[in-house]
Amino acid sequence: MPLSPRTKTLLALAALLALAGGHFAARQWRAAQQPAAAATPQACQPRQGCTLPNGSRIRFAAALREPFDIELANVPPEVQRVEVSFSMANMDMGFNRYPLARQPNGSWLAAQIRLPVCTDRRHDYLADVRIGEQVFQVAFEAQ
């Protein structure tokens, strides 16, 4: 039995509402996933390592086109989750977040990380380091 024009219109409206609701839910979820970083990024030379305000020490050799490892040491033992994401000032880098795994020696490690690509060929990155519920922002130049 063919659908009446009214039924087709109602189905189209329902589909449009479902798409709009899904889009809104996805935007809300993505916003909740982005950490609220510290207001002032800490300048860092990640190859030498930098000490964060909570005493943790982050070290990595950020490469523009090659994978690299991120190591975090001196993390308080009660911390259950450590993640790092990358961004740039005034540049949408898309969603990227890398969980670090606790190592037997107490450090945290993420292996084979890749920086998001900047289409403007900038190298001035920000790393948002989430340690438990704290977020620290580190500014660095990738090579």
Residue type at position 30: R
pLDDT at res. 121: 83
Q: What pLDDT, on the 0 to 100 scale, is given for residue 32?
A: 52
- Which pLDDT score is estimated for 71? 96
**38-141: which CATH topology?**
Immunoglobulin-like (2.60.40)
For 63, 94, 138, the CA distances from 143, given in Å and listed in that order, are 5, 20, 16
Q: Which pLDDT belongs to residue 29? A: 52
Q: What is the pLDDT of residue 15?
A: 76
Looking at residue 97, its pLDDT comes to 92
d(CA 88, CA 140): 10
pLDDT per 10-residue tile (average), the chain, 143 residues: 82 77 61 52 85 93 89 94 92 87 96 87 90 92 83
